[in-house]
């Protein structure tokens, strides 16, 4: 196979001066298994990003919002997080595309992992001293830009370096790092006991510490500048539209991920109110609903960690992705139905466990699947960024879909049944992917 056969490769690079470098380099499908130290570096980057990202989202931003106005804290928090979510939709594919074109000596991805971490850390430190709501919003957008930039680059590094037969395992371990990072964020938020400024500082340290091992042991392969196509703004901008007609497997993978994530967000969105109003947890069990949410979240996270690692390894050994994506989607739907028809504390514990089991396996195996439907080696960062929109967009769509079910169309039973149906559609559409078993 010559380099001219690679999707998106420059015209006839196999006969150019960089042919030797490329045959062992950045645009060639990897064949050598990655080492444990490299995997550990990827896991730690994911852990640091998620710890730095979720501690503010879960607690710290809300505490800071209350210092500006106790009466308007909900509106302030909605403004800040909404603006940040909008930035994340753009930043992930944009920074992924920047990393695709980077020809630094240290490689394509590691400069953006480092830059994103530094930007995010500096912005977190600045966030502690934000004098008003406008500056708080702007600085949080910078945090989002930095964290998403680092995440886009580290995600693209996996198909750059990891052979197909190992991607389920590595994807599962990366998902484990993300989940542990979310738990670490909760621990940080709880440990600072209301001092959000200290919390932001700890988050900044966690973000920077997370990239150290990867920075020194990334083995990132440089992209020779002579094979990088000339920059044309129109081509760069239109490149973010990946036609589902030309790349149907990519389109079906994007839609599948969107649907499964919408279903998952619909299940978890109103968990506090579900425990308060439907389960009546405090009256029946003497447990405050807030504590109930913490217990269910911890149980869910433990199951995600376990099933993501195991599911990824099973997928690699089978050499198949679609069957496990379908099974995990069915398990997620089953969790929603348990919550719908067993609105009790026991049902909630079982539902959270089953949901974590299904979603953890889904995270690992779906990631491996999507790396196998990317249109071109040259644009892995951009294309994965576009796919990651299907992770962020449900945070906007799920509340819009869930609200009428809870308030107008049957309450929590109809909400969870709808979540199950939407998740099952993801299982149906993954069958449409033809290029992956």
Per-residue pLDDT of the chain (437 residues; tens, 9 = 90+): 333 333 333 333 333 333 434 444 677 888 899 999 999 999 999 999 999 988 898 788 888 998 998 888 878 888 888 898 889 889 999 999 999 999 888 999 999 999 999 999 999 999 999 999 999 999 999 999 999 999 999 999 999 999 999 999 999 999 999 999 988 988 888 788 778 999 999 999 999 999 999 999 998 888 888 888 888 888 889 999 999 999 999 999 999 999 999 998 888 888 878 898 899 998 999 998 888 888 898 899 999 999 999 999 999 999 899 999 999 999 999 999 999 999 999 999 999 999 999 999 999 999 999 999 999 888 999 999 999 899 888 877 888 888 899 888 888 999 999 999 998 998 889 999 998 98
Q: Check residue 25 and give its pLDDT.
A: 64
Q: Is residue 151 part of a domain?
A: yes
- CA quadruple 305, 117, 148, 136: dihedral sign: positive
235 within some domain:
no
Position 5 scores a pLDDT of 33
> Same structural domain for residues 101 and 194?
yes
Residues written for the chain? 437
H runs (alpha helix) in 228-321? 233-238, 248-269, 271-273, 281-285, 289-318
Please list the residues that pair with 104 across neighbouring strands.
Answer: 107
Domain boundary (220, 236, 259) is at 220
Distance between CA atoms of residues 291 and 127, nearest Å: 28
Q: Which domain-ending residue is among 220, 235, 268?
A: 220
* Whether residue 415 is found in the same domain as residue 336: yes
Query: Taking the mean position of all CA atoms in its chain, how far away is CA 160?
Result: 18
297 and 151 in a common domain: no
Structural domain total, the chain:
2
Tell me, yes or no, whether 299 and 185 share the same domain. no
What does the pLDDT read at residue 304?
94
Which H or E element spans position 359?
helix 345-371
Residues 191 and 255 in one domain: no
Q: Is residue 46 located within the same domain as residue 178?
A: yes
Q: Residue 319: inside a domain, yes or no?
A: yes
Residue 65 φ/ψ, nearest 5 degrees: -60, -40
Residue 40 lies in a domain: yes
Answer whether residue 276 is part of any domain. Answer: yes
Number of Cβ within 10 Å of residue 51's Cβ equals 28
Query: In this predicted structure, what is the pLDDT of residue 141?
Result: 96
Q: Rounded CA gap, 416 and 339, in Å?
A: 7
CATH number at residue 201: 1.20.1250.20
Residue pair 236/98 in contact (Cβ under 8 Å)? The answer is: no
DSSP code of residue 34:
P
Together in a domain, 358 and 314: yes
Report the C-alpha gap between 96 and 389 in whole angstroms: 12
Q: What is the pLDDT of residue 77?
A: 86
Q: Do 159 and 274 fall within a single domain?
A: no
Per-residue confidence (pLDDT) for residue 40, from 0 to 100: 96
331 contact partners, CB below 8 Å, separation of at least 6: 354, 355, 357, 358, 361
In a domain, 98, yes or no: yes
Owning domain of residue 213 = 34-220
SS3 per residue for 69-92: CCCCHHHHHHHHHHHHHHHHHHHH
**What's residue 308's pLDDT?**
94
* 58 and 164 belong to one structural domain: yes
335 shares its domain with 397:
yes
Which residue, 115, 225, 226, 214, is CA-closest to 157?
A: 214
Cβ neighbours, 10 Å, residue 91: 25
In this structure, the answer to whether residues 42 and 132 fall within a common structural domain is yes
Write the burial class of residue 72 (CB in 10 Å: 0-12 exposed, 13-18 middle, 19+ buried). Answer: middle
166 and 262 together in one domain:
no
Q: Is residue 191 part of a domain?
A: yes
pLDDT of 361 reads 94
Q: Is 109 exposed, middle or buried (0-12, 13-18, 19+ CB in 10 A)?
A: buried
Is 21 contained in some domain?
A: no
């Amino acid at each position: 196979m010559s380099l001219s056969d690679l999707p998106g490769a420059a015209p006839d690079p196999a006969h150019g001066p960089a042919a030797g470098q490329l045959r062992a380099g950045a645009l060639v499908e990897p064949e050598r298994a990655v080492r444990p130290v490299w995997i550990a570096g990827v896991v730690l980057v994911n852990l640091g990003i998620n710890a730095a990202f979720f501690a503010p989202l879960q607690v710290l931003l809300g505490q800071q919002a209350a210092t500006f106005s106790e009466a308007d804290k909900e509106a302030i928090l909605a403004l800040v997080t909404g603006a940040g979510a909008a930035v994340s939709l753009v930043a992930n594919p944009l920074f992924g595309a920047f990393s695709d074109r980077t020809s630094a000596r240290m490689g394509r991805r590691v400069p953006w992992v480092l830059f994103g971490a530094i930007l995010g850390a500096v912005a977190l430190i600045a966030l502690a001293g934000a004098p008003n709501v406008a500056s708080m919003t702007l600085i949080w957008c910078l945090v989002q830009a930095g964290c998403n930039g680092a995440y886009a680059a580290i995600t693209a590094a996996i198909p750059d370096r990891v052979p197909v037969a190992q991607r389920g395992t590595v994807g599962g371990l990366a998902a484990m790092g993300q989940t542990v990072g979310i738990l670490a964020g909760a621990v940080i938020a709880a440990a600072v006991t209301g001092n959000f400024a200290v919390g932001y500082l700890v988050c900044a340290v966690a973000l920077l510490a997370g990239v150290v091992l990867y920075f020194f042991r990334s083995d990132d392969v440089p992209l020779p500048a002579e094979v990088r196509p000339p920059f044309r703004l129109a081509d760069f901008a239109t490149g973010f539209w990946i036609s589902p007609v030309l790349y149907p497997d990519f389109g079906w993978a994007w839609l599948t991920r969107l649907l499964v994530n919408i279903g998952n967000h619909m299940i978890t969105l109103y968990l506090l109110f579900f425990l308060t109003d439907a389960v009546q947890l405090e009256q029946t069990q003497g447990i405050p609903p807030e504590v109930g949410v913490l217990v269910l979240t911890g149980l869910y996270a433990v199951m995600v960690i376990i099933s993501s690692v195991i599911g990824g390894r099973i997928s690699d050994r089978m050499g198949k992705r679609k069957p496990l994506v379908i099974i995990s989607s069915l398990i997620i739907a089953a969790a929603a139905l348990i919550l719908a028809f067993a609105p009790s504390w026991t049902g909630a514990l079982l539902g959270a466990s089953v949901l974590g089991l299904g979603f953890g396996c889904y995270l690992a195996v779906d990631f491996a699947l999507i790396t196998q439907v990317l249109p071109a080696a040259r644009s892995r960062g951009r294309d994965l960024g576009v796919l990651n929109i299907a992770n962020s967009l449900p945070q906007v769509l799920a509340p819009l879909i869930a609200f009428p079910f809870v308030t107008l169309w049957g309450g929590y039973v109809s909400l969870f049944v709808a979540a199950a149906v939407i998740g099952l559609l993801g299982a149906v559409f993954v069958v449409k992917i033809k290029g992956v078993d």
